[in-house]
Amino acid sequence: MPHEHTQMAGEARRSHIIQISLFLFFIIVWILDSFVFRLTSYLWSIPVYIAIIIGFYDLIYLLSFLLPIIPGLFVIIAGIYLMSRSHIVFDVTEPTVVDYGLYARVRHPMYLGSILLYLGFWIITLSILTLIPLLTVIIGYNYLAIGEEHILEAKFGNEYLEYKKRVPKWIPR
């Protein structure tokens, strides 16, 4: 007998399949372009060519390698933080709109955290080809968020509509 999904939190149907598909698409393209074929992940090496010309090869090479890694790791850590802090256990007998914690700042902190993870990995290698799955991930999570908001609007009515007016969808206040 198939598993019955109750959608207690307003989760869209097949969201797990969509998220897994987005992950696989992104990770396959990212790994293949960044580490195997290196078709378009060459932006990090531009400072190396400049360093060769001016003669500071060792120092500039080290800095050019670290330059995208540091902000990339920062964005990844921010994504992990959002994802870890967005799990809220609520009383299923009396469901209500969760509007405290991260949910008082942004309506989809879990999805935003996931997007930040992908963005962080992209920043580390700056693979131009990986922009396609990155944009697909952003569009996919926005699609999931819209579907879940329709479910929550139907479930909570004006309470959720007021919440939507107060709290931004993606960019925290």
Compare 96 and 75 and report the one with higher pLDDT.
75
Which residues, in sequence order, are CB contacts of 141 under 8 Å at separation 6+? 22, 108, 111, 114, 115
Which residues, in sequence order, are CB contacts of 71 under 8 Å at separation 6+? 123
Query: Which pLDDT tens digit goes with each residue over 118-138?
Result: 999 999 888 999 999 999 999
How many CB atoms lie under 10 A from the CB of residue 159?
A: 13
Question: Domain coordinates of the chain in residue numbers?
Answer: 15-166
pTM of the model: 0.84
Residue type (1 letter), 4 = E
Q: How far apart are the first and last CA of the chain?
A: 44
Q: What is the pLDDT of residue 132?
A: 97
Number of helices and strands (H, E) in the chain? 6, 0
- Is the confidence at residue 64, as pLDDT, over 90? no
Short-list 15, 23, 37, CA closest to 136: 23
